[in-house]
Structure 1
Amino acid sequence: MDYKAFWLDVLSQNRERLPSWFREDAVIRWHCSNEQFTVAEYVRVNCDYPNDWTGEIERVEESGNTVILAGRVYPLDRSMSFHVVSFLRIENGKIVEMDEYWADDGEAPDWRRKMKIGKPIRNADPGEPEK
């Protein structure tokens, strides 16, 4: 499976190509919002999500028939950014299960900043590349 091409189809909200990455009976779960989707529902929610998006894959790990993708996603105007970790279970080159965990990017909470420990991983601008 070409993970980079899949990622680009997700980001570009490619309604025509997205279903081709999944087995017809695949299950997609967004754990942070407690939602489960069929392939058709996933394509609809992904492609109807407002704004135009871009981003990058930050890490790919493979173990057996499971692929773990970690990525950063932001709108073209770079007004915000998110991180996503996706666990893809692959059979015969198709996704049969996808479990995703989404998080809004932001500053550490006050209580941790007051500890004056750690340092930023990247610049504050959501569109800036990693340091």
Structure 2
Amino acid sequence: MTRGIGLIGATRTAERVVMSTSRGRRDITVRAVAASDRERAAVSGERHGVGVLSCYEKVVTAPDIDVVHIAPYNSAHAYWARRAVAEGRIGLVEKPLCLDLAECDEPRSADRRRLGPGSPRWSAYTGRRGERSRRCLRTRSPHES
């Protein structure tokens, strides 16, 4: 099974963590990018041979995207994490995941309601240079056979 990845935000971190990790692999592929600056998204998409979508909502609802790397401005991280989870996507979120504890509870609660306790569907970008996100992309889901 090949996992399709969509990028919310055309950032250097996304290029370093997601694009470089997926390059040359058959099990994951970056399929789309969207950014608040459409020109920056177009440049990133062209550089990496990735489709450009006009808005973040199209990334989380695209049928060929399974994983969403979330890297817009900080105050939008929690909202797009919730949207990704609501659409059944795995979310990889750049730090900070949330701006306060109340905001952090929402994606975890939505996750538990949808999948049951202990089912990971989002991960905060933590560690030096995105090691946790790279590790998540390298490993198979416990739900896969």
TM-score over 0.5 for the alignment?
A: no
Q: Higher strand fraction: Structure 1 or Structure 2?
A: 1
Q: TM-score range by the shorter chain?
A: under 0.3
What TM-score, normalized by structure 2, do the two folds share? Answer: 0.24
| The structure with more radius of gyration | 1
Bigger fraction of residues in helix: 2
